[in-house]
C-alpha cells in the first residue's frame, strides 16, 4: 500500500511547473515509471495527484457503477472532468496543466500535502484558509471519524 508522508512548501513557475522536494520525490521513486493522474478535488479548491496504481484501483471501483443510472453517469462525468495523466520529469518537476492551475487557483506559492495514498496540491493561501476553518472542530471530527469503540487502530 502506498502511503506518503509530509507537507511541503513549493513554488510554481509561470508555466505551472512545480519542483517536487527531494524527500517527497524519494517517496515517489518506485512509482515514477508508471506515472500519475492529476484531477480536481471533489470537496476543496485543490488538485489530487494519484499514483497510476491507486488511480487504477479507483477506476475499477468506478467501473462497477451502473452507467444506466443518471446520477452515476453524472457523477462519473463530473469526477473525471479535467483529469490528466502527468509525469515527474527527469529534473523532478511536475507540470500542472493550465486549466488545472486555474481550477485550484494556484498562483506562485504551492503546498504539496500528503493525504495517505495521494498528494493534494494547493495554492498556499487556500490551504492555510482551509486548515484555519477546520481547526476549531478538529477534535470533534477526530473523535467521530477515528474514535470507534473497540476498534484496534494499531
**More confident of the two residues 1 and 103:** 103
Q: The domain containing residue 98 runs over which residues?
A: 7-145
> Domain for residue 154, yes or no?
no
Question: Each residue of 55-111: pLDDT tens digit?
Answer: 999 999 999 999 899 999 999 999 998 899 999 999 999 999 999 999 999 999 999
> Domain for residue 55, yes or no?
yes
> Domain for residue 1, yes or no?
no
Provide the sign of the torsion angle of the four alpha carbons 54, 55, 57, 58, taken in this order: positive
> Domain for residue 151, yes or no?
no
Which alpha helices (H) appear in the chain, and where do they start and end? 22-28, 52-63, 70-80, 98-104, 124-135, 138-146
> Domain for residue 2, yes or no?
no
> Domain for residue 69, yes or no?
yes
> Domain for residue 153, yes or no?
no
C-alpha–C-alpha distance, residues 82 and 31, integer Å:
22
Strand order in the sheet with 109-115: 7-11, 109-115, 118-123, 47-51, 36-40, 84-86
Q: What is the pLDDT of residue 149?
A: 64
User: Angle 138-144-146 (CA atoms, 0-180°, nearest 5)?
Assistant: 90
Q: What is the pLDDT of residue 154?
A: 56
Burial of 124 per CB tally in 10 Å (0-12, 13-18, 19+): middle
**In the chain, how many domains are there?**
1
- Domain harbouring 55, CATH code: 3.40.1550.20
Query: What is the SS3 assignment for 104-134?
Result: HCCCCEEEEEEECCEEEEEEHHHHHHHHHHH
Which residue bears the cell 502527468?
Answer: 86
> Domain for residue 150, yes or no?
no
pTM (2 d.p.): 0.89
Amino acid at each position: 500500500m502506498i502511503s506518503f508522508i509530509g507537507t511541503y512548501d513549493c513554488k510554481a513557475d509561470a508555466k505551472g511547473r512545480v519542483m517536487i522536494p527531494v524527500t517527497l520525490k524519494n517517496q515517489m521513486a518506485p512509482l515514477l515509471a508508471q506515472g500519475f493522474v492529476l484531477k480536481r478535488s471533489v470537496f476543496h479548491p485543490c488538485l489530487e495527484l494519484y499514483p497510476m496504481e491507486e488511480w487504477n484501483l479507483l477506476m475499477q471501483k468506478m467501473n462497477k457503477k451502473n452507467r444506466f443510472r443518471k446520477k452515476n453517469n453524472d457523477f462519473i462525468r463530473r469526477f473525471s472532468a479535467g483529469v490528466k495523466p502527468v509525469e515527474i520529469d527527469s529534473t523532478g518537476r511536475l507540470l500542472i496543466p493550465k486549466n488545472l492551475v486555474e481550477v485550484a487557483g494556484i498562483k506562485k506559492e504551492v503546498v504539496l500535502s500528503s493525504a495517505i495514498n495521494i498528494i493534494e496540491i494547493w495554492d498556499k493561501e487556500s490551504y492555510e484558509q482551509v486548515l484555519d476553518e477546520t481547526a476549531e472542530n478538529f477534535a470533534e471530527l477526530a473523535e467521530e471519524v477515528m474514535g470507534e469503540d473497540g476498534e484496534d487502530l494499531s
